[in-house]
Copies of this chain bind each other. A is one copy, B any other.
Amino acid sequence: MKNNKEVVHCIVDYGFKRVGGKYKGRILWVLRDSVLRYGELKRAIVGVTPKMLTQTLRELEVDELVSRKVYLEVPPKVEYALTKSGQELIPFIEQLRIWAKNQMEQKNITVNSL
């Protein structure tokens, strides 16, 4: 999302710009109750390419929704966790999730993985 991130039209617009994007919601959601290493996230978010995962995590980090902790070991170890702001977003995602669940039931849609 290099997109006019500067041009915010309204508060709702601002909100969606922080959380929008192909993987952000899922990443925040899996981090809701556990700190995860890069590789663990990779396995959790089925379908992400490593490049995309890293890139998305960087954006979340810049926006201060996710924190990154590097352990100086070899092989490398990096842990990702929600920040306070990130945690505050969880109830919101939870609500979307409830809505989505109902929709999927009504429309008889099933999920590919998980």
Contacts and interface: CB of A to CB of B under 8 A. Distances in A.
Contact of A109 (B8, B96, B104): B8
B12 A100 contact: yes
A71 interface: no
A113 B102 CA distance: 35
Interface residues of A, number: 43
B9 A47 contact: yes
Interface string A55-85: 0000000000000000000000000000001
Given A9-B111, A10-B29, 15 more contacts: A8-B109, A9-B114, A10-B26, A10-B111, A10-B114, A11-B104, A11-B111, A12-B93, A12-B97, A15-B99, A15-B103, A16-B19, A88-B102, A89-B99, A92-B95
